Amino acid sequence: DTEVTQTPKHLVMGMTNKKSLKCEQHMGHRAMYWYKQKAKKPPELMFVYSYEKLSINESVPSRFSPECPNSSLLNLHLHALQPEDSALYLCASSQVTGWEWEQYFGPGTRLTVT
């Protein structure tokens, strides 16, 4: 099973809402990633978890709060977002951290902030 799943597929939220994105993998990978991708741009790394610990936070605003409850699950909690946060949010996983390990991407969550 080389699948990374993400829910929901689409999310529309107001600027005062609180919502969460969920990502799951059952490949035994110990590294998980959140990327943000704006239209016609490459993915931008947001967070990296290694063995359930946050190892990289690419200066992401605090209105994005990641959580890794266990080795298979990664959440991204959203609060007080801005319209410019509308984007495709991609989750990925790899065996361990490091660019030597191929990353497997989930289908993404299309987020619209109104």
Partner 1 sequence: ELKVEQNPLFLSMQEGKNYTIYCNYSTTSDRLYWYRQDPGKSLESLFVLLSNGAVKQEGRLMASLDTKARLSTLHITAAVHDLSATYFCAGGGGSQGNLIFGKGTKLSVKP
- Interaction of residue 108 with partner 1, rule CB under 8 A: yes
Minimum Å gap between C-beta 80 and partner 1 is: 26
Nearest Cα to 71, choosing from 22, 20, 21, 31?
A: 31
- Interaction of residue 60 with partner 1, rule CB under 8 A: no
- Interaction of residue 77 with partner 1, rule CB under 8 A: no
Spell out the SS3 assignment of 61-95: CCCEEEEEEECCEEEEEEECCCHHHCEEEEEEEEC
- Interaction of residue 97 with partner 1, rule CB under 8 A: yes
Binding region for partner 1 (CB under 8 A): 33, 40-43, 45, 48, 55-56, 88, 90, 97-100, 102-108, 110
